[in-house]
Structure 1
């Protein structure tokens, strides 16, 4: 991989299946685009802009989608984690390719410092995007039961 554009990026983690790079995501994506690499899936947890932390600045959606669409294979999926109000803005930024959400029901919640101002967050929204029409497999589904008897 010497001489490879990706070799010049700051490698955060590597194993036989994945390589994680640390850096400004727009710059990292530009370097990967230069290399001509395409992905079956892109799964990421972008900043939501819900805190006052310097790193928690929302990536400009138009710049993000421009790059993600160049990196994903034609049949690939883009999966983005989020929390409200970020998730609503994210979906509306690419409503054409938005397909559905999953809800990650966490065992431990977050935002403990904000409990005086808002409820304890025990889930995150995972939004799925791709360029193709969704064709669900229509099979009878089991009713999902709550883990507790109280709602």
Structure 2
């Protein structure tokens, strides 16, 4: 679902999940021909984590084996947001992957990204950054995107 604010030229896109209201944000903002996509993660249409990491007794991920599955769902969620603006991964110029375990992410990111972008050498600037924590304890990855549509 998209929402346009004519006074500032912004268009916003949403998944319709509870966190959008709780935190107060849009999944993406389009201004001009540029789309800025907020950090996407592995959730279903209700906002529940898909392929959550198993947590240890302290509440931290004890296992990173769900990295590939979370990554795939995260890219699928991004595709839904991009589609609200008529965009695809062909329009993405940069993605930034924030991960809890760089080695686990690096082991699967090449394969997943090549499938998502449909080519052995995606023409996308990319960053893979290790972080100590993400928004939800069971979350292993969050991906931010920037896409540019052709000039009208």
Q: What interval of TM-score do these two structures reach, taking the shorter chain for normalisation? A: 0.3 to 0.5
Relative to the length of structure 2, the TM-score reads 0.35
Highest CA radius of gyration, 1 or 2? Answer: 1
Relative to the length of structure 1, the TM-score reads 0.35
Greater fraction strand = 1
Q: Which has the higher contact order (CA 8 A, sep 6+)?
A: 2
